[in-house]
Amino acid sequence: MDTTLQDPLVGQTLDGRYRVEARIAVGGMATVYRAVDTRLDRVLALKVMHPTLATDVSFVERFIREAKSVARLDHPNVVQVYDQGAQGAYVYLAMEYVAGCTLRDVLRERGALRPRAALDILEPVLAALGAAHRAGFVHRDMKPENVLIGDDGRVKVADFGLVRAVDTVTATTGSVLGTVSYLAPEQIESGAADPRVDVYACGVVLHEMLTGEKPHGGDSPAQILYKHLHDDVPPPSAAVPGMAYALDELVALATARNPELRPPDAVALLGLAREARAALGAEQLDAVPPRATEGAHVGAENRTSVIPRALPVDGGAAASVRHTARFASPPLDPPAPRRPRRRPAVRRGPLAVVVAVLLVLGVGTGLWYINSGQFTKVPPLLSKTEDQARDRLKEAGLEVGKVRHAYSDTVRRGTVISTDPGVGARIRDSDAVSLTVSDGPETVELPDVQGDKLDRARDTLKDKGLEPGMVTREFSDEVERGSVVATDPEPGTEVRAGTAVALTVSKGSPVEAPDVTGDDLQDARDQLAEAGLKVKVASGQVTSEYDKGQVARQSPDPGEQLAEGDTVTLTVSKGPEMIEVPDVTGDSVDEAHDKLESAGFEVHEDRGFLGLFGDEVKDQSVDGGDKAPKGSTITIKIR
């Protein structure tokens, strides 16, 4: 059954602009719809907060904070936010619509992925999170459901609904927002959230992509949370024999239970992921994975929810995750993640013995020298400082070539972005390797565009290497309609090149919508035009108390504040509903009132001098059996 048919928003238009066409997904805090922006004629995703939460000020603030935060993250791997607003009980975000599927859909259908595919997804995710981390934000709810894979292959991170500033103190409320399968131990213990919680979640997602299963399972959320606190994430090779050691190490570093042992943010983890890729051969990258266990990707542990920090742990009703962590085991200060054991050395066969003897005798030493002694490989240098890279090259017997510098939004200043030849490339001993070192993100001073028309302000921002971001409109008595009132960040702020700048644009002085209900249509048009408003006439007509051709209702309602040039939609009356008048001649006054009022009429008594003390209806203004407009007044004469 198509449940969208039961959704009251489907088919409606929010804010007179966003026509809701279908429901895409339902989450713990909001519902996402496919909609059409009728002004720009483009398809987008509309994320609408559940009306039950819209009355909670803290949730609404978090929802609006998502819009402002993501609008400032102008990154190709972050789902873009276009607009934010509210209509009645509906608080919404208008976002980029990504036609495709989620990583959860891929894992549910295919199970484990080949390492190459897993890294192809992980790297853009880390690039997006890295941009957020460097901008001062933490996602806090990374999971496969929030990784969108477009039909064109692009990977984007969505749902920054739990995003918050890195330096914002988390209140001790006794609960934590998140998804149990991807929560870092410190989130469970104290609700703490810095970039390393996203690193931990990405390590869990990588494990799931490589093995087809989550690292920690359980019959209840409490069991899963307990394992996050007390058990290391197992190496992928435990589930997939033959998995490359570099991938085991990458997962172990990202999911270390002690946050001090993890990479500090997604940028650092991205550098390690690229190093791991460079260390793998084609056979290792394209190794065919096993199928996932049926049901491995379904369950409540995939849903974002409010999770108490003290949950009962199986085996003791009075125990809690916090209590158990404190008393049932040593304090949470785990050692470094266990590195997977290296495979035992392969036993030498007869051929190897023969080769060794020949080498001892000097036979074939020229061949050995040519194939091995003259060549080496470029060592892993990405994300290393320039000094560290120089030391590694020296240890490998290689020279440092040209050192170039380039701006980078994702690679830390002073560390290596790339090498020439690339990492892992075969190179002769003593040859030179050129380095490209990051100068960090390019920064520019935000120009003052206040008072400029919107198009000119956008051009100015682009000329400075910035991106025009979300546009919010508000009334202003001081700034003319269509001109910029303010920017976020403020003018003069030093920001990264490519940063999206949110613009607040004037709607001009407010115009109060005049009341034109009951007016003839042309009179209503003239009155609205005189107020500086446009008119749209609804296609259908309705029955009403007003005569045919008069305005039955208007939207927005009379008295609402509008901007000059806004549109008022008028619905025309096709006249009142005509109903049959009961015959009350000869009835008592009370009986006449009951009959006429039950039929939908008003009653007026005409007693005259002779009827002051009478109680019988002598006549009625509309004869019984004839029709009159519903709600009209019937006069009865009394004698």
Place of tokens 């589930």: 239
Helix H or strand E segment including 367: helix 365-368
Please indicate, yes or no, whether residues 535 and 622 belong to a single structural domain of this protein. no
DSSP reduced 3-state for 580: strand
CB half-sphere exposure, 540, CA atoms < 13 A: 3
Please indicate, yes or no, whether residues 482 and 549 belong to a single structural domain of this protein. no
Q: Is residue 425 within 8 Å of 455, Cβ to Cβ?
A: no
Q: Is residue 637 within 8 Å of 619, Cβ to Cβ?
A: yes
Question: Which of these is catalytic: 74, 141, 519, 566?
Answer: 141
Please indicate, yes or no, whether residues 205 and 131 belong to a single structural domain of this protein. yes
**Number of domains comprising the chain:** 6
Please indicate, yes or no, whether residues 514 and 398 belong to a single structural domain of this protein. no
Indicate the residue among 416, 438, 460 that finishes a domain: 438
DSSP string computed for 254-319: HT-SSGGGS-SSHHHHHHHHHHHHHHS-HHHHTPPPPPPPTTTT-SGGGS-EEEESS-PBTTBTT-
Asked whether residue 344 is domain-assigned, the answer is no
pLDDT of residue 409: 66
d(CA 175, CA 380): 42
Q: What are 526-570's pLDDT values in tens digits?
A: 999 999 999 999 988 998 889 999 999 999 999 998 888 889 999
Asked whether residue 334 is domain-assigned, the answer is no
Asked whether residue 341 is domain-assigned, the answer is no
Asked whether residue 347 is domain-assigned, the answer is no
- Using CA atoms in the order 345, 350, 353, 355, what is the torsion angle rounded to 10 degrees? -110
Asked whether residue 345 is domain-assigned, the answer is no
pLDDT of residue 151: 85
Q: Is residue 299 within 8 Å of 197, Cβ to Cβ?
A: no
Please indicate, yes or no, whether residues 169 and 277 belong to a single structural domain of this protein. yes
pTM here?
0.50
What is the number of other CB atoms lying within 10 angstroms of the CB of residue 394? 11
pLDDT of residue 222: 85
DSSP string computed for 444-492: EEPP--TTSBHHHHHHHHHHTT-EEEEEEEE--SSS-TTBEEEEESPTT
Please indicate, yes or no, whether residues 63 and 140 belong to a single structural domain of this protein. no
Please indicate, yes or no, whether residues 559 and 632 belong to a single structural domain of this protein. no
Please indicate, yes or no, whether residues 113 and 143 belong to a single structural domain of this protein. yes
Asked whether residue 336 is domain-assigned, the answer is no
Q: What is the largest CA-CA distance in the chain?
A: 145
Q: What are 399-413's pLDDT values in tens digits?
A: 999 999 988 766 788
Please indicate, yes or no, whether residues 236 and 272 belong to a single structural domain of this protein. yes
Asked whether residue 320 is domain-assigned, the answer is yes
DSSP structure class, residue 599:
H
* Domain CATH number, residue 206: 1.10.510.10
Indicate the residue among 556, 572, 588 that finishes a domain: 572
Asked whether residue 338 is domain-assigned, the answer is no
* Domain CATH number, residue 390: 3.30.10.20
User: What distances in angstroms separate CA 415 from CA 279, 387, 409, 410, 629, one per listed residue?
Assistant: 19, 9, 12, 11, 82
Domain that holds residue 19: 3-96
Please indicate, yes or no, whether residues 304 and 189 belong to a single structural domain of this protein. yes
d(CA 201, CA 210): 14
In the residue annotation, 566 being an active-site residue is answered as no
Q: Is residue 394 within 8 Å of 424, Cβ to Cβ?
A: no
Please indicate, yes or no, whether residues 111 and 256 belong to a single structural domain of this protein. yes
Using 70 as the pLDDT threshold, list the residues of the chain that sit under it: 1-5, 65-66, 69, 161-178, 290-374, 409-410, 609-611
User: What distances in angstroms separate CA 466 from CA 43, 68, 446, 499, one per listed residue?
Assistant: 25, 16, 8, 5
pLDDT of residue 152: 82
Indicate the residue among 73, 96, 119 that finishes a domain: 96
Please indicate, yes or no, whether residues 139 and 174 belong to a single structural domain of this protein. yes
pLDDT of residue 327: 25
* Domain CATH number, residue 30: 3.30.200.20
DSSP string computed for 498-554: T-EEEEEEE--SEEEPP--TTSBHHHHHHHHHHTT-EEEE-SS-B--SSPTTBEEEE
Written as six digits, the tokens of 431 are: 């040859």
